[in-house]
A and B are shown apart, each in its own frame.
Chain A
């Protein structure tokens, strides 16, 4: 980096990095909303809670490994991700079977209420089982890089932020490949196009829908592990705000569109960081949601959402 850059440029870069980190995690959670909406046209309001459960499972795994005396960071991370993804996906699958499938052919409003009920149920279930206090997660990945002059404002980029970018990128790439290349992915796209027709053509749509919930929950688990480690604190209420922000990101990018969810997440994260950085932290949410209203006024289907294009 050029050492003659003015302080304001470093500040800009710092806020951009802050925004992209938050935005990446919004994107991971937003995909769960957008995939479910793309296929069955329903908003899964319990998705934020699924993310919260992902964090709790990761905590339990890390605590368990620490008790057993495991201190290899790579092993701990791998175990946290794998076990969290498996257990959280099971929750995603079970939520769909219990709360949504019986209501699939009823009025959409009923499924929505069921989703809100599921969200309240999961939140309180974790609260009663785990207690309502904040739980501190161990920081596995510490340290980072510093750029810029030592005596003036300098940019810090923590290793954890880099890990978040990289894992988000890998996850997105895998998902895109799965959707565009695999047989199951093709079935997902077909269901998004026309659920009834796909069923007539002999594809087990129930299976596809279950898979959608499992993928969404797995991504939420990834976000849960990453954010739990990044912020270091979890409680049963973290799913609400995170779910709301991710839902906003999904709508902003065009609900039903996977690239839209990613773009929406990043735009939301960066907008929040810049509002907090250049204006005031108090107006962070006001500006972010005003942006949502504006975009929806001019593009009702979101930035990348085009009703006639395939959506998953």
Chain B
């Protein structure tokens, strides 16, 4: 009995060890290469955003290597899975430091990027996120933390000004998922529209992962709101849209780029028609990027996700910084990033003292039930 139990335990331990090894998978291995860690969710409910970031960054690495690499060396991508979980993100950050990698493109979720960035700054690792939009990430006076995407504090006002000037609701509700990203956006939108005199009848949080929003929807119906802004991600908003349609709540919804992907149409079906979404400009629609879009299509990858091109740019500015300083010292590269302008597929990028882009704009789109979208603003 004990013996067979031990045997079972041994198998179990082996399986566990195997699973742990899946955590980090190296893409290619060259003797003389500069490793760039790509950190983000490979698994978990928001893994599709991770994919956007990974395909963009890998494409940049591939093209830079094709053009001769950096300082005579090749770039090498190493993928780390943080599952958009702050605890796992910290473990991943420590692993990256242990693996002696000094450049990171990631993480994706703001709540993961924030704790991970503490470790990178302390350990002298240069990190550029292509997706985390929480303003708090760059307000701590860090030297080595950058981003190639806008901030919630820019996205909120874009949404708010569209609500105030184009939607003009009589009575609206603001809902969020109580997470750093969603609540940050929701409170910024609420404050802006209140200033413009719009009646915000309801401001409430839901629990991420919840499936039943019938009580909330009944409440929205009773309050008789005519517009709802949702701060959060698509799994919850998709269900809210679907259940609203079933319960006869006929109002327009708006959400941030966290809801703007094709899965929301898969979840909500016809109810996703007419949803308003603020997204970074569609860089894949820019004629200047036509060749790059072709390159993605050749690999049957979808370049339309909001983080694909920012991730490409993150790798590119990192490489350009290394070339300009002829070094792979993260601190030298960081000061070069602050001092120069870089021509990238997402435009001419310059970084301010905090590590944010000097200029980045969000666009309001109207979503369609088939997962496509139409731009409403420029």
B330 in the interface (beta carbon within 8 A): no
Least CB distance from A292 to B in Å reads: 17
* A300 interface residue per 8 A CB criterion: no
CB neighbours of B266 from chain A (8 A): 134, 136
Q: Is the CB of A127 within 8 A of B43?
A: yes
Q: Please pick, from B178, B216, B222, the residue contacting A153 in the complex, using a CB distance under 8 A.
A: B222
B211-228 Cβ-contact flags toward A at 8 Å (1 or 0): 110111011011010000
Which of A11-19, A70-78, A190-198 faces chain B?
A11-19
Of all chain A residues, the one with the shortest Cβ separation from B1 is A102
Q: How far, in angstroms, from A299 to B1 measured CA to CA in the complex?
A: 41
Could you tell me if A134 and B212 are in contact, using CB atoms closer than 8 angstroms?
no
For B242, the chain A residues whose CB sits under 8 A away are 232
- Cβ-closest chain B residue relative to A143: B246
Cβ distance B245 to chain A, nearest Cβ, rounded Å: 10
When the two chains form their complex, are residues B216 and A241 in contact, meaning their CB atoms are under 8 A apart? no
Min CB distance, A91 to chain B, in Å? 18
Q: Is the CB of A277 within 8 A of B210?
A: no
**A232 to B267, Cβ gap below 8 A?**
yes
- Does B239 make an interface contact (CB < 8 A)? yes
Closest residue on chain A to residue B47 by CB atoms: A132
| B267 neighbours in A (Cβ, 8 Å) | 134, 136, 232-233
Contact (Cβ within 8 A) A21 B214: yes
Docked pose: A156 CA to B205 CA in angstroms: 24
A139 contacts which chain B residues (CB < 8 A)?
269
Chain A nearest CB: distance from B108 CB in Å?
A: 14
Chain A residues in 8 Å Cβ range of B212: 18, 21-22, 231
**Per DSSP, are chain B's interface residues mostly helix, strand or loop, or mixed?**
helix
Please judge, given known A-B contacts A14-B218, A18-B218, whether A133 and B48 are in contact too, CB under 8 Å: yes
Contacts of B210 in A (CB 8 A): 241
Q: Report which of B47, B219, B263 forms a contact with A276, defined as CB distance below 8 A.
A: B219
- CA A11 – CA B238 in complex, angstroms? 24
Identify which of B45, B214, B221, B222 contacts A235 (C-beta below 8 A).
B45
**A227: interface (CB < 8 Å):** yes
Distance in angstroms between the alpha carbons of A11 and B222 in the assembled complex: 7
Are A285 and B207 closer than 8 Å at their CB atoms? yes
Report whether B205 and A273 are in contact in the complex, using a CB–CB cutoff of 8 Å.
no
Given contacts A133-B263, A241-B209, A281-B205, contact A233 B215 (CB under 8 A): no
Instruction: Find residues 107-158 in chain A having any chain B CB closer than 8 Å to their own CB.
Output: 117, 124, 127, 132-134, 136, 139, 142, 144, 146, 153-154, 156, 158
A233 is contacted by which of B5, B12, B216, B239 (Cβ under 8 Å)? B239
Chain B residues with CB under 8 A of A282: 178, 204-206
Residues of A within 8 A of B246 (CB): 142, 144, 156, 158
Q: Is B343 an interface residue (CB 8 A)?
A: no
Query: Would you call B150 an interface residue if the criterion is a C-beta within 8 Å of the partner chain's C-beta atoms?
Result: no
**Contact of A237 with B by CB under 8 A:** yes
Q: Once the chains bind, are B207 and A15 in contact (CB under 8 Å)?
A: no
A232 to chain B, nearest CB (A): 6
Q: Does B165 contact A (CB under 8 A)?
A: no
Known contacts A144-B246, A276-B216, A277-B218; A132/B211 CB under 8 A: no
Q: How far apart are the CA atoms of A235 and B210 in the complex, in Å?
A: 12
- Determine if B215 and A18 form an interchain contact, defined as CB atoms under 8 angstroms apart: yes
Given A102-B5, A127-B43, A132-B45; A281-B263 close (CB under 8 Å): no
CB-CB under 8 A from A276, the residues of chain B are 215-216, 219
Point out the residues of chain A lying under 8 angstroms from B263, CB to CB.
Answer: 133-134
Q: Which listed residue, A136, A144, A280, touches B204 by the CB 8 Å rule?
A: A280
8 Å CB contact of A15 from B8, B45, B47, B218: B218
B44 at the interface (CB under 8 A from A): yes
B215 touches A277 (CB 8 A): yes
Given that A134-B266, A156-B248, A233-B235 are contacting pairs, would A18 and B214 also be in contact in the complex, using a CB cutoff of 8 Å? Answer: yes
Give every chain A residue within 8 A of B139 (Cβ-Cβ): none
A64 to B1, CA, bound (A): 43
Is B300 located at the chain interface by the 8 A CB criterion?
no
Q: Which residues on the B side are within 8 Å of A117 (C-beta)? A: 12
Query: B218 contacts A281, CB within 8 Å?
Result: no
Q: Does B194 interact with chain A (Cβ within 8 Å)?
A: no
Chain B residue numbers with a CB within 8 Å of A241 are 209-211
Q: Which residues 1-33 of B have a CB within 8 angstroms of A?
A: 1, 5, 8, 12, 19
Q: Does B247 contact A (CB under 8 A)?
A: yes
Contacts of B1 on A, CB cut-off 8 Å?
Answer: 102
**Bound complex: CA A14 to CA B8 (Å):** 52
Chain A residues closer than 8 Å to B204, beta-carbon distance: 280-282
Tell me whether B211 and A238 are in contact (CB under 8 A): yes
A49 at the interface (CB under 8 A from B): no
Q: CA A102 – CA B12 in complex, angstroms?
A: 15
Docked Cα-Cα span, A18 to B204, in Å, equals 19
Chain B residues lying within 8 Å of A102, measured Cβ to Cβ, are: 1, 5, 8
Q: Which of A146, A274, A281 contacts B216 (CB 8 A)?
A: A281
Residues of B within 8 A of A124 (CB): 19
Docked CA distance A144–B266 (Å): 22
Q: Mark B242-254 against chain A: 1 for CB-CB distance below 8 A, else 0.
A: 1100111000000
Nearest CB to that of B213 among chain A residues?
Answer: A281
Q: Which residues of A are found within 8 Å of B243, using beta-carbon distances?
A: 231
Give Cα distance in the complex from A274 to B219, angstroms.
10
A282 to B246, CA, bound (A): 23
* Residues of B close to A146: CB separation below 8 A: 248
Name the 3 nearest CB pairs between A and B, nearest first: A276-B215, A18-B214, A282-B205
A7-B222, A158-B247, A231-B239 are known contacts; what are 9 more A-B pairs with Cβ within 8 Å? Answer: A11-B222, A127-B43, A132-B45, A139-B269, A153-B224, A156-B247, A233-B211, A277-B215, A284-B207
Complex A-B: 27 CB contacts under 8 Å: A15-B218, A18-B214, A22-B212, A22-B214, A102-B1, A127-B43, A132-B43, A134-B263, A136-B267, A153-B224, A154-B248, A156-B248, A231-B243, A232-B242, A232-B267, A233-B211, A238-B211, A241-B209, A272-B215, A274-B215, A276-B216, A276-B219, A277-B215, A280-B205, A281-B205, A281-B215, A282-B206
